[in-house]
A and B are shown apart, each in its own frame.
Chain A
Amino acid sequence: MSGTFMGMPAFPKAAHEAVNNPTLRANLRHATHTIRAKRAKAVAEVSDWAELREAGKQIKDHTLRRLDRYLVQLEESVTAAGGTVHWAADADEANRIVTRLVRETGESEVVKVKSMATQEIGLNEALEAAGIRAYETDLAELIVQLGDDRPSHILVPAIHRNRGEIRDIFRQEMGEWGRAAPEGLTDTPAELAEAARLHLREKFLRAKVGVSGANFMVAETGTLVVVESEGNGRMCLTLPETLISVVGIEKIVPTWRDLEVFLQTLPRSSTAERMNPYTSTWTGTTDGDGPQTFHLVLLDNGRTDTLADEVGRQALRCIRCSACLNVCPVYERAGGHAYGSVYPGPIGAILSPQLRGTASEIDASLPYASSLCGACYEVCPVAIDIPEVLVHLRERVVEGGPVVREGNKVVLKPAKGHAAERAAMRAARWAFGRPGVLRTGQRLASGTRRVHPRTLPGPGRAWSAGRDLPAVPAEPFRDWWQRTNGGEKDAR
């Protein structure tokens, strides 16, 4: 993944800093609450939402279970339609392929449609190192790029910025990258959008190479789909002579008809619209209309490792709508940067540790970046049971065990730092298997309850710092049951 995220501190540390930033807290609260209410309204408009969600889940599951077949079919149909298909096992390979393809055009700049896959592989940095300038054209990506910042949301990467901050970034930075911001630019959203329009127009009009991702790829027809709002996507997909699309292998749907589900669920889940302003579909190349050269780079980069995990593979159903971020109480308070990945929020907490493995401090901490409240599962348009995967990944971090990394089976060691938890669980297992020991222990606990400390000593201190210890009853349940014959004799 992107070098920008290397060496990130564990989630608790990063989140601790974020929650103490009042501007960030206010910006996130405002934005997430705005979209939450709108999404609920947009979803309530369609009476068959539950059925659409179930169909979306089943289509994606079916595709993943037959992914090899559909990848080959997609390659055939894209090739037949005039495109060229490349395969990239990891980020470095994808970056090398795109860099080579741009160099072959003789151009030294590209315009980009917002794309999570190219963020994930750090394409802009790789192109920069090869002397190629990549211009982000999505408004929020532009704000992030001009501000030399990191994205903090899947749909709106600059969600952590309010209008005043955006105006300041435009005033200070636009001139460095091309056309400067208009004199007297205010912070009204319409004026900010106009400034972006003027700044980017010259880049669109002269662009010879466009780089995109895709929301969907249709195996039977070879069609790619990009869903967007501003028209920057249409500019990048139709004005350049060469188009290079970098797409994760899980973005396939089998048939044209399958789009009828996702084109209903995605806009309502992401921007809370009946339909987003612009959707572009293209199949290879079309004579005389749009780019005459089309390359599709199919990206693995940890996806097949994720697919190998029977519980975790459901994360690959994700259509990147970001509804789970917008409803998450942890995301709302901690912000996107604390997740140390281009994929923040609940989906990021299960996707990043699977795509990257759990070796780093940040990735091992992400499965814990949740209260397991389940709001994310509730709103997910493809019914990813995020809490289930979080618990599964916590188990993997604590217990270790077999996983697949870069296509190879490896056995993870139990993570350090969970020794006390493991010891406590082992002790519990031992006691629960021995009724006499359990009874003695419970009586001892009840008998001494007046002198119990309010926080745990030693390694338990961190655990009890944010939690209340459960109150111990005066009499163990099993003693009460025996004494009262299950409550039939006098309940006290």
Chain B
Amino acid sequence: MSSRERILGRVRRALADVGGEDAPVERGYLRTHGGLDAGRTVDLLAENLADYRALVHRCSEDELPAVVGRLLLEHGARSVMVPPGLDPRWLSEADAERVEDRAGNTPHELDRVDSVVTACAVAIAETGTIVLDGGPDQGRRRITLVPDHHVLVVRVPEQVVSSVPQALERLDPARPLTWISGPSATSDIELDRVEGVHGPRTLEVILVG
């Protein structure tokens, strides 16, 4: 007998006392907490991002290239990783050398890149979370991981939802997802939170709109 059959057989015998159909799961919890309007929801996102030490900037569509250019300059970035589908105007005022996100890039090559600029799939206000789904303007998962400085652009208010349930509805589980809530951190030393471990130690979020 294969282990598959053995385990499934054990499960069925273990459940011999269980009969009939189950009642549906009671989902008495809220869809969102608070019922804020679009503007207040964006404010809450900014507040929660900052609470977990992301650096938050707000600007209009027209100002975006200047803001991206300034953030890269201030970080001292000589090179910047660019996903293939990123709007080229976003980097039109940046001096840093562009590094394309290619399948053939080795992890060591990625490690030599200073910064990365991406868009996102959705942002969650209540938790201060931004989700990437590997779309053309976000690139492969590793490009937002190895460089130490991540500049993330969120279109507001259209990309912002209030809650985790609303975000899951918008996301496609078939795509590889990365949920980001602030820069990398650890609670492993005396259960106290310290920012800055393996992921980007500086997370800058630009809310555009």
A interface residue numbers (CB < 8 A to B): 27, 30-32, 34-35, 46-48, 51-52, 54-55, 58-59, 62, 65-68, 71-72, 81, 87-89, 93, 137-140, 143, 155-156, 158-159, 162-163, 166, 189-190, 192-194, 196-197, 200-201, 204-206, 218, 221, 223, 229-232, 234-235, 237-239, 249, 256-257, 259-261, 263-264, 271, 273-283, 286, 288-290, 298, 300, 304-305, 307-308, 310, 313, 326, 404, 407
Contact = CB atoms under 8 A, between A and B. Distances in A.
30 contacts: A35-B187, A58-B25, A62-B22, A71-B8, A72-B8, A139-B186, A139-B188, A189-B190, A189-B194, A197-B196, A223-B173, A231-B184, A232-B197, A234-B199, A237-B141, A238-B140, A249-B7, A271-B193, A274-B127, A275-B128, A277-B183, A277-B184, A277-B185, A278-B178, A280-B141, A281-B176, A283-B174, A286-B134, A305-B14, A404-B10
Contacts of A313: 14
B179 A205 contact: no
A143 B178 CA distance: 26
B188 A239 contact: no
Given A48-B30, A234-B178, A189 B185 contact: no
B181 interface: yes
Given A55-B27, A275-B127, 19 more contacts: A48-B29, A68-B15, A137-B198, A163-B190, A189-B189, A190-B195, A229-B185, A229-B197, A231-B184, A231-B200, A235-B145, A235-B198, A273-B181, A277-B181, A278-B199, A307-B14, A308-B10, A310-B17, A407-B13
A300 B17 CA distance: 20
Given A68-B11, A87-B4, A256-B168, A143 B198 contact: no
B156 to A, nearest CB: 19
Best-surrounded residue of B3, B134, B173, B195 (most CB of chain A within 10 A): B173
A278 B26 contact: no
B141 to A, nearest CB: 4
A54 B26 contact: yes
Nearest to A407: B10
Contacts, number: 254
A45 to B, nearest CB: 8
B28 A55 contact: yes
B198 A200 contact: yes
A230 B189 contact: no
Nearest to A143: B188
Nearest to B142: A238
A192 B189 contact: yes
A166 B103 CA distance: 39
Contacts of A257: 165, 168-169
Interface in B35-70: 48, 52
Given A87-B7, A274-B128, A205 B181 contact: no
Contact of A162 (B126, B128, B175, B190): B190
